[in-house]
Amino acid sequence: MEVRTGLAANRAEIIRALTARRIATAAAYGGGGITALGGLTFGLIVLEARLARRIIQATPSGDPPVADGLFGAGLPGQPLSFVMLGDSTAAGLGVFEPDETPGALLAAGLSAIAGRPVRLTNVAVSGSRTEALAEQLPDALAVEPDIAVIMIGANDVTARIPAAQSVRHLAGIVAGLSAVGCEVIVGTCPDLGSVEPLMQPLRWIAQRASRQLAAAQTIAVVEQGGRTVSLGDLLGREFAAAPLEMFSADRYHPSARGYAAAAAAMLPSMAAALSLEPDHEEVPEPRRGEGVLPVYLAAAEAAEEPGTEVAGTRVAGRERGPRGRWAMLLRRREVPEVAPDAI
């Protein structure tokens, strides 16, 4: 196993990594930390933000379809208990059929991989910020989950919630789920810079803020024993290439195809967390940019790369090195290149 302690990162990457670590540290010690927008003033972009909000709210999606239930009912074995927590993206807002929601897509895929039934319970609530996960946790724990997927963060960015505050709430939820033996996968904050109604400079600020939060989320989740999957850049590239196909009618939430892209990125990590492929040893491939890193460096890379999983690991039998928690960075999904003229 190659340990990439001599990471060939440029100055910008190092700054992003240090910023993410600073946010996560502030969360751990109860500090307010840095705001999601790094202290940037909204004075020059208030008009753009209000216009974007009007466009998005002009085409409401309604309530998300309910997909709770048993998947793979004809398969043998005790059903796996799978719970979804989070915001409107976890709930599946933007599609009309239950089987198009991310929860249903993941439950069906997990059932096929495991060869046994999967019972889905979705407790996600549209509009939730990370602090609202505490209200969802009791219902999630009530079903004795084997695995949980959390999708959260976008509303924290748009509401300018301090990133350290958001991360502190998330760490507590992951710890609570892990304490009962539940495997936890977090789809980190999506790339809000891909939202079509946003104009510059709001688009650039939204992208910067969402990736900064995603990196900090990764550090907090891995420290609590969970895994993260970067959705930001994955969806950013694909959504930018085909916004009419990847966004729903409200031009903000994903379409059925958009949710399918997110599910495809997360499903392999769910299978790995449940050890459903025991014969496959997870060995990072340096040529793919994979490796073992201090978690804050892995988090910064994952926020910039599509479909990247970050999970805790050991080096020489130790979880921590001189620069913090060790983490394995894996590219679970290859993302097709997008032609420049398509963006």
The active-site residue out of 88, 166, 230, 269 is: 88
Query: Quick check: bond before 243 cis, omega within 30?
Result: no
Domain presence at residue 326:
yes
What is the H or E stretch that residue 80 is in? strand 80-86
Domain presence at residue 6:
no
- Please write the tens of the pLDDT for every residue from 104-134: 999 999 999 999 999 999 999 988 999 999 9
Domain presence at residue 2:
no
The active-site residue out of 87, 156, 233, 250 is: 250
Q: Which domain holds residue 96?
A: 11-38+45-342
Residue identified by tokens 């031009």 is 251
- 275 has catalytic annotation: no
Count of domains observed in the chain: 1
Domain presence at residue 141:
yes
- 63 has catalytic annotation: no
59 secondary structure, DSSP code: S
Residue identified by tokens 């509303």 is 155
The domain that contains 123 carries what CATH number?
A: 3.40.50.1110
The active-site residue out of 111, 230, 253, 269 is: 253
Which two structure tokens, joined as six digits, stand for 34?
Answer: 């840095």
Domain presence at residue 3:
no
Domain presence at residue 5:
no
Q: Which residue in 226, 223, 67, 85 sits closest to 142, CA to CA?
A: 85
pTM: 0.78
Domain presence at residue 130:
yes
- 156 has catalytic annotation: no
pLDDT at 209 over 90: no
> For residue 33, is it left (φ>0), alpha (ψ between -120 and 50) or beta?
left
Domain presence at residue 1:
no
Confidence bin at 68 (pLDDT 50/70/90) = very high
